[in-house]
Amino acid sequence: MLATALNDLWHGFGVAFEPQNLMWCFVGVLFGNIVGVLPGMGVLAAISVLLPLTFAMKPVGAILMLAGIYYGAQYGGAICSILLNLPCHPPHAVTCLDGYPMTKQGKGATALGITMLSSFVGASFGIVEMIFFAPVLVGFALHFGPEDICALMLLGLLAGSTLSKGSPLKGIAMTVLGLILGIVGSDPNSGEQRLTLGIPQLADGIEIVALALGLFGIAEFLKSVNNVPTLNVRGTQVRLRDMRPSRAELKRAAPAMVRGTLIGSLCALIPGTGPTIASFVAYASEKNLSRNKADFGRGEVRGVAAPEAATHASVQGDFIPTFSLGIPGDSVMALLLGALIVQGIQPGPQLITEHPDIFWGLIASFWIGNILLIVMNVPLIGIWVKMLAIPYRYLYPSALFFICMGVYGVSNDLFLVCETLAIGIGGYMLLRLGFHPAPILLGFVLGPRFEENFRRAMLLSRGDLNVFIESPISATFLGLAVLLVTAQVVLHLRRRPRQGHAPRVLRSPALPACETVPPTQI
Amino acid sequence: MNGATARRDLLAGGLLALIGAGVVVDARGHAIGTLGHMQAGYFPLLLGILLIVLGVLTSLSGLIAEESESAADHPLDLRGCAAIILSVVAFVLLGEYAGLLPATFLSALIAAAGDRKMSVTGALVLAATLSLMAALLFSYALNMPLPLVRL
């Protein structure tokens, strides 16, 4: 099996090194890196803006580029945290705790160097994990019946909605709303128009680009306008030769990197626990393991290395359930799956065998992309620092323009721009009411497939719901789902008096509140 | 108990229930079928009812929750929001009746007017840059069928 995997990987490198694919991979990581640096810009918005462009591309190039944006942005996100103490991108929020003190001690460049090294180690391990785990999962998933797929989707949806930010109840509500939005349009069996409000353009369903750009573009701008501080980067200088960590620092950081990587790759396997949770867990365990806990928060190298390695391992690992089972772990993955579906490719366990070019080409491109990122970030770090200072007042009108053009370009129809605006206003209302709209996308992408499999399962069992418990696979997934919800409820009830929610560390006085900068919500 | 949070969650739950009710009404316009043989209305009906239940639970949860979630902590910025919404509306209307260039230029100006720190020069430069980009990148290079100027 190892031999076939290596053989397939070799084939993947062949695909990824095709000049066109190489170019798209580069465009993706570059764009992602820039977006990661820019304050107030989210990964989801970035992917959605480029999504219409991919409709005209070949599937392999499209996926390589969109994936590149995602992991490229992770490299950029850390810069803001370390140099300016602003947790603009949630997975890197915890990096502030020790990254910024290092900057104050004049070792900001070293912190960035360590970050890049940790990122590369974490990402590499995540890729290896994907190479070996994805085919195993696929072999397992090929035996799934419709009831098993349903149960798995249910588990994925519950995990994605309850483990993300905010109250689990509201997360589930958003997922259900997403499922509802997903079935707008013609019923696949009878062709009846459902929930279209009589608007003919909605007969084909809600356009995923409109939904994503409405929720993560327009709604975020409505929230952030006049609320994003312009950053002062004067006096922040990063010199290239300072980035190389000393041997002593490397020796301290290396074990932390390995531990962070392991935590990140474990988190990747649990659906719904994305990079943000991984980085927090990695930091907390690193601190607990340390003999001198007091060093943490004062510029401890390990406090930078562990969470960054965990983030990147988890980011790469996130692709495993998405591409082997067709179940996205979070909204970024949901968007990637949406892009695949637009290309006419059905996600699911058959993807790897039917489209080996996409799967293995993607894996190979991860490595190429990560190396490109390292090579690119070292000389360009000075430019990134300058870009941090671009005021939001120039960013959002430009982004708004690209959103309008991108959405219009999907079908050359201005109606779609109106649809995006309406979704954006709705999304902002939800934000104000204390919802986090990210799970909507998860439900939206899975909605039609969930209904299809549910209907098929019930048809086959003649309406007997017991089939979900009688199938051992489905029963396992449902058991896990129940366990997950119970754990959430218990934690929620126990947490309330103390407010000890992990990501809320961010709002401790040690860090300036960055709630005004729109979080990426991954 | 926090009055503001309770009020907000009451509203949030009410909105969910309202959407759910709408979905139920729409679903009842289609054949429902049975669990063993679902028709077009069955799944939406299920989701609509589920959303109503979640809405009620959300309303109730506001009564016992003490902490306030982060999302609504930011102040509502009327000027900024109005500018962004109007900017998109202007883009659609001008794109339909006047062409890509006026649509880009004016919608960028309107959006820029939403930021309190924006200078007139800055807004003009931004709008001009974006218009240039619209002409070169989208119209010329990507061949978008929206005419530059509609006469």
Closest alpha carbon within chain B to A169: B58
Q: What is the pLDDT of residues A439-451, one digit of tens each?
A: 899 899 889 989 9
Hey, of B47, B53, B140, which one would you mutate to test binding to chain A, going by the most A CBs within 10 A of its CB?
Answer: B47
The span from the CA of A148 to the CA of A472, in Å, is 9
Closest alpha carbon within chain B to A414: B92
Question: Strand locations in A245-368, DSSP E?
Answer: none
Q: What is the pLDDT of residues A131-149, one digit of tens each?
A: 888 888 888 888 888 999 8
Q: Which of A431, A496, A515 shows the shortest C-beta gap to B66?
A: A496
Q: Which of A165, A173, A192 shows the shortest C-beta gap to B40?
A: A192
**Is the pLDDT confidence value at B108 over 70?**
yes
Q: What is the pLDDT of residues A284-319, one digit of tens each?
A: 888 888 887 888 888 888 999 999 999 999 988 888
In a domain, B148, yes or no: no
Q: Which of A59-73, A105-119, B42-56, B60-74 has the lowest mean pLDDT?
A: B60-74
The span from the CA of B89 to the CA of A334, in Å, is 29
User: HSE on the CB side for A261, CA within 13 Å?
Assistant: 20
Q: For residues A408 and A417, is the Cβ–Cβ distance under 8 A?
A: yes
- Residues forming a β-bridge with B38: B33
* Between residues A515 and A247, the one the model is more confident about: A247
Q: What is the pLDDT of residues A20-31, one digit of tens each?
A: 999 999 999 999
**Is the pLDDT confidence value at A507 over 70?**
no
pLDDT bucket at A160, cuts 50 / 70 / 90 = confident
Are B69 and B7 part of one and the same domain? yes
Closest alpha carbon within chain B to A409: B144
> Residue written as tokens 């990254």?
A99
3-state secondary structure of B37: strand
Boundary (domain end) residue, out of B38, B73, B108:
B73
A246 min Cα distance to partner chain B (Å) = 40
Are B41 and B24 part of one and the same domain? yes
| Chain B partners within 8 Å of A166 (Cβ) | 69-71
Region class of A434: left (phi > 0), else alpha (psi between -120 and 50), else beta: left
Q: Which of A41-55, A208-222, A399-413 has the lowest mean pLDDT?
A: A41-55
Are B69 and B84 part of one and the same domain? no
With a CB cutoff of 8 Å and minimum separation 6, the contacts of A356 are A8, A11, A12
Angle at A510 between CA A297 and CA A514, to 5 degrees: 120
Contacts by A229-233 with C-beta closer than 8 Å and gap 24+? A229/A516, A229/A517, A230/A389, A230/A391, A230/A392, A230/B117, A231/A39, A231/A84, A231/A86, A231/A388, A231/A389, A232/A389, A233/A83, A233/A84, A233/A385, A233/A386, A233/A388, A233/A389
**Would you call B38 and A459 a contact, using CB atoms and an 8 Å cutoff?**
yes
Percent of chain B past pLDDT 70, that is, above it, reads 93
| Chain A partners within 8 Å of B130 (Cβ) | 397-398, 401
Q: What is the pLDDT of residues A208-227, one digit of tens each?
A: 989 999 998 899 899 888 88
| Chain A partners within 8 Å of B84 (Cβ) | 218, 221-222, 225, 396, 400
pLDDT bucket at A437, cuts 50 / 70 / 90 = confident
The span from the CA of B90 to the CA of A97, in Å, is 44
Q: For residues A209 and A407, is the Cβ–Cβ distance under 8 A?
A: yes
Are B84 and B122 part of one and the same domain? yes
Torsion, Cα of B74, B75, B79, B85 (10° steps):
50
B51 and chain A: CB distance < 8 Å anywhere?
yes
Are B95 and B42 part of one and the same domain? no
The amino acid sitting at B6 is: A
pTM for this prediction: 0.85
B98 min Cα distance to partner chain A (Å) = 13
**Is the pLDDT confidence value at B37 over 70?**
yes
Residue A259 tokens, joined: 């531990």
Q: Which of B72, B85, B122 shows the shortest C-beta gap to A432?
A: B72
In a domain, B49, yes or no: yes
| Chain B partners within 8 Å of A516 (Cβ) | 74
B134 and chain A: CB distance < 8 Å anywhere?
yes
Four-residue CA torsion sign, A515, A516, A521, B2: positive
**Would you call B79 and A226 a contact, using CB atoms and an 8 Å cutoff?**
yes
Are B8 and B67 part of one and the same domain? yes
Domain count, chain B: 2
The span from the CA of A8 to the CA of A135, in Å, is 11
Report the pLDDT value the prediction gives residue B61, as an integer from 0 to 100. 84
pLDDT bucket at A493, cuts 50 / 70 / 90 = confident
B66 and chain A: CB distance < 8 Å anywhere?
yes
Taking CB atoms and an 8 Å cut-off, how many pairs form between chains A and B?
202
Q: What is the DSSP letter of A214?
A: I
The span from the CA of A202 to the CA of A199, in Å, is 6
**Is the pLDDT confidence value at A84 over 70?**
yes
* Between residues B55 and A6, the one the model is more confident about: B55
* Residue A440 φ then ψ, to 5°: -55, -45
CA A346 to chain centre: 21
Q: What is the pLDDT of residues B63-101, one digit of tens each?
A: 776 555 444 467 889 999 999 999 999 999 999 999 999
Q: Which of A194, A421, A464 shows the shortest C-beta gap to B85?
A: A421
Q: Which of A194, A222, A225 shows the shortest C-beta gap to B115?
A: A225
Report the pLDDT value the prediction gives residue A499, as an integer from 0 to 100. 44
- Residues forming a β-bridge with A302: none
Of the candidates A224, A278, A235, the residue with the CA atom closest to the CA atom of residue A84: A235
**Is the pLDDT confidence value at A494 over 80?**
no
| Chain A partners within 8 Å of B14 (Cβ) | none
**Would you call B47 and A183 a contact, using CB atoms and an 8 Å cutoff?**
yes
In a domain, B60, yes or no: yes
Q: What residue ranges do the domains of chain A occupy? A: 2-507
| Chain A partners within 8 Å of B89 (Cβ) | 421
**Would you call A177 and B107 a contact, using CB atoms and an 8 Å cutoff?**
no
Report the pLDDT value the prediction gives residue A512, as an integer from 0 to 100. 36
In a domain, B151, yes or no: no
Are B86 and B25 part of one and the same domain? no
Report the pLDDT value the prediction gives residue A518, as an integer from 0 to 100. 36
pLDDT bucket at A510, cuts 50 / 70 / 90 = very low
The span from the CA of A294 to the CA of B82, in Å, is 49
Of the candidates A106, A23, A33, the residue with the CA atom closest to the CA atom of residue A58: A23
**Would you call B91 and A404 a contact, using CB atoms and an 8 Å cutoff?**
yes
pLDDT bucket at A520, cuts 50 / 70 / 90 = very low
A400 and chain B: CB distance < 8 Å anywhere?
yes
B147 and chain A: CB distance < 8 Å anywhere?
no
In a domain, B53, yes or no: yes
**Is the pLDDT confidence value at B50 over 90?**
yes
**Would you call B112 and A179 a contact, using CB atoms and an 8 Å cutoff?**
no
Q: For residues A81 and A308, is the Cβ–Cβ distance under 8 A?
A: no
**Would you call A397 and B36 a contact, using CB atoms and an 8 Å cutoff?**
no
Are B105 and B137 part of one and the same domain? yes
What is the residue range of B40's domain?
3-73
Are B118 and B57 part of one and the same domain? no
Report CA Rg, chain A.
Answer: 22
In a domain, B146, yes or no: no
Percent of chain A past pLDDT 70, that is, above it, reads 91
Are B65 and B104 part of one and the same domain? no
Mean pLDDT computed over A98-124:
89
* Between residues A234 and A75, the one the model is more confident about: A75
ipTM (interface predicted TM):
0.94
Mean pLDDT computed over B122-144:
90
Of the candidates A46, A100, A111, the residue with the CA atom closest to the CA atom of residue A73: A46
* Between residues A509 and B21, the one the model is more confident about: B21
Closest alpha carbon within chain A to B92: A414
Boundary (domain end) residue, out of B57, B73, B89:
B73
B10 and chain A: CB distance < 8 Å anywhere?
no
Are B14 and B68 part of one and the same domain? yes
Q: Which of A226, A459, A464 shows the shortest C-beta gap to B80?
A: A226
Q: Which of A170, A187, A225 shows the shortest C-beta gap to B114?
A: A225
pLDDT bucket at A231, cuts 50 / 70 / 90 = low
Annotate B61-105 with DSSP letters as a single string. HHHH--SPPSGGGSPP-HHHHHHHHHHHHHHHHHHHHT-HHHHHH
B78 and chain A: CB distance < 8 Å anywhere?
no
Report the pLDDT value the prediction gives residue B73, as an integer from 0 to 100. 61
Q: Which of B16, B38, B76 shows the shortest C-beta gap to A455?
A: B38
Are B99 and B40 part of one and the same domain? no
B111 and chain A: CB distance < 8 Å anywhere?
yes
- How high does pLDDT run on average in chain A? 85
A389 and chain B: CB distance < 8 Å anywhere?
no
